[in-house]
Amino acid sequence: MLKIGFDAKRFFHNQTGLGNYSRDLIRILRTYYPEQTYLLYTPKLGKSHYNNLVPSDIIKQPTGFINSILSSHWRSSRIVNDLELDKVDIYHGLSGEIPMGLENTSIRSVVTIHDLIFIRYPELYKKIDRTLYHKKFKYACDHADQIVAISEQTKQDIIAFFHIPESKIKVIYQGCHESFKTVKTEQEKQDLISKLGLPKEFILNVGTIEPRKNALSIVEAIVDKDIPLVIVGKQTSYSKEIQAYVTQHQMEDRVIFLQGLSMQELSVLYSLATIFVYPSIFEGFGIPIIEALYSGTPVITTKSGVFPEAGGPFSCYVAPNDVNQLGEAVDTILNSTEKQQEMREKGLEYAQRFNDGLLAEQWMNLYKNLGNENRIF
């Protein structure tokens, strides 16, 4: 049996992105391999229901005055003492980090690298953040026993930017929340339509509303089309830019902004959408695409980078900043129920490679292989 420790800070504190990744991975491991021991290490607990997703006895927090006061320092280095006391076999950094000094113990280490966007697009980040990310991620890649990239795109970036040998990197895709994998009843759909005042047909976009996600191009592409757009995400300065365009072109009745939906509500929303459009410029993977495929919703996304990995051969691909091309793709799908049906069926079929059981097996094989290796000092 293995005792596996996880850097679970994001598990308890991040509502999207790294938080969803952490929660989904822990969930599928505990579901498919309950005989193993899993410990979740976090500097502190969040103020949310995430605290109740796992038994309290597997949650590990800093103890003692110094560790409690300097909890960030505990997470980055002093935690190693606790890992040894807890007799952890493998420690998994779920968000690009591992504690310093872990390589001087018998504990094996894994780090997940989600993306290196801060290197590819430095203008999107503050200099201090770029410097910090580079230092932490580079350290983790250099010192971890195994690196896991969430896509082939991220793997190639790790090789190119950090000069890590390919043999040290394994690709294991992300899954998505189980809510997206269940068939929605007509009652569930009607309840959400009534609650949110949704139109009969609409295009859907989900994700952080920021320039890199490029939602403005969708609004521009449908400016002359009779199809509403629903954008789900926390309001930002970029969303104000989108709203200004909407007002300027008198589209207020056709562009709907939503936020604060539960995961169940979001999954029903996906199933109601006519098309899911995700014209992001760059991602480490693109979980919303997977959510759409599982929901049986046709996908239009970007034709470069990681997106074909996530969307598969039956999604529609466009240049992210080509508004005319995006508009033509929308028209093609809207005007053909046969095309829509093919994309729904084939997209769902492609999504099966991201099923929980398959991903859990890949992870457990990786952990067991690491557990069987002896560290050479």
Domain containing residue 34: 3-175+356-371
pLDDT at res. 191: 97
End-to-end CA distance of the chain: 24
Say if residue 282 is in the same domain as residue 309. yes
In the chain, the percentage of residues whose pLDDT exceeds 90 is: 87
Local structure of 37: helix, strand or coil: strand
Q: Are residues 218 and 313 in the same domain?
A: yes
Q: Flag whether 376 is in a domain.
A: no
For residue 13, report the phi and psi dihedrals to the nearest 5 degrees: -120, -25
Confidence of residue 294 (pLDDT cuts 50, 70, 90): very high
Count CA atoms closer than 13 A to 41's CA, side-chain side: 33
Say how many residues make up the chain: 377
> Which residues face 229 on adjacent strands?
203, 255
Q: How confident is the model at residue 14 (pLDDT cuts 50, 70, 90)?
A: confident
Q: Do the domain assignments include residue 125?
A: yes
Q: Write the DSSP symbol of residue 106.
A: S
Across the chain, what does the average pLDDT equal?
Answer: 94
pLDDT tens for 135-181 read 999 999 999 999 999 999 999 999 999 999 999 999 999 988 889 99
pLDDT score of 298: 98
Q: Per-residue DSSP letters for 245-282? A: HHHHTT-TTTEEEE----HHHHHHHHHH-SEEEE--S-
User: In this structure, are 206 and 262 located in the same domain?
Assistant: yes
Reading the block at residue 23, the tokens are 């929660």
Is there a contact between 154 and 116 (Cβ–Cβ < 8 Å)? yes
Inside any domain, residue 156: yes
Mean pLDDT of 277-291: 93
CATH number at residue 34: 3.40.50.2000
Same domain, 149 and 293: no
Which pLDDT value is given to residue 323? 96
In the 3-class helix/strand/coil scheme, how is 224-250 assigned residue by residue? CCCCCEEEECCCCHHHHHHHHHHHHCC
Based on the fold, state whether residues 171 and 193 are members of the same structural domain.
Answer: no
The answer to the question of residue 377 being in a domain is no
- On the question of pLDDT at 286 being above 80, the answer is yes
In a domain, 192, yes or no: yes
User: Can you tell me the distance from the alpha carbon of 364 to that of 367, in angstroms, rounded to the nearest whole number?
Assistant: 5
Q: Is residue 118 one of the residues assigned to a domain? A: yes
Q: What is the pLDDT of residue 374?
A: 57
> Are 154 and 174 in contact, with CB atoms under 8 Å apart?
no
Q: What angle do CA 276, 306, 285 make, to 5 degrees?
A: 70
Q: Which residues pair with 113 in a beta bridge?
A: 149
Contact (Cβ atoms closer than 8 angstroms) between residue 316 and residue 343: yes
Q: Are 32 and 157 within one domain? A: yes
Residue with tokens 């292989």: 369
Are residues 88 and 139 located together in one domain of the fold?
A: yes
pLDDT tens digits, one per residue of 23-76: 999 999 999 999 999 999 999 998 778 888 899 999 999 999 999 999 999 999
Question: Does 11 share its domain with 55?
Answer: yes
Is the pLDDT score of 362 beyond 70? yes
Please indicate, yes or no, whether residues 150 and 235 belong to a single structural domain of this protein: no
Residue pLDDT, tens place only, 194-243: 999 999 999 999 998 999 999 999 999 999 999 999 999 988 899 999 99
- Is 231 a member of any domain? yes
**76-81-82-86 Cα dihedral, nearest 10 degrees:** 140
Flag whether pLDDT at 262 surpasses 80.
Answer: yes
What are the C-alpha distances in Å from 298 to residues 190, 229, 231, 248? 21, 15, 16, 29
| Domains in the chain, number | 2
Band of pLDDT at residue 376, cut at 50, 70 and 90: very low
- Percent of the chain past pLDDT 70, that is, above it, reads 99
Distance CA 371, CA 87 (A): 13
How large is the average pLDDT for residues 69-95? 96
- Looking at residue 52, what is its pLDDT? 84
Q: Is the dihedral of CA 361, 93, 28, 283 positive or negative?
A: negative
Can you give the pLDDT at residue 177? 87
Q: Are 200 and 344 found together in one domain?
A: yes
Q: What is the dihedral of CA 120, 126, 132, 138, to 10 degrees?
A: 0
Global pTM value? 0.88
Contact 30, 38 (CB under 8 A): yes
Helix (H, G, I), strand (E, B) or coil at 74: helix
3-class DSSP assignment, residue 207: coil
* 233 in any annotated domain: yes
Q: Are residues 237 and 276 in the same domain?
A: yes
pLDDT number for residue 377 = 43
Same domain, 109 and 140: yes
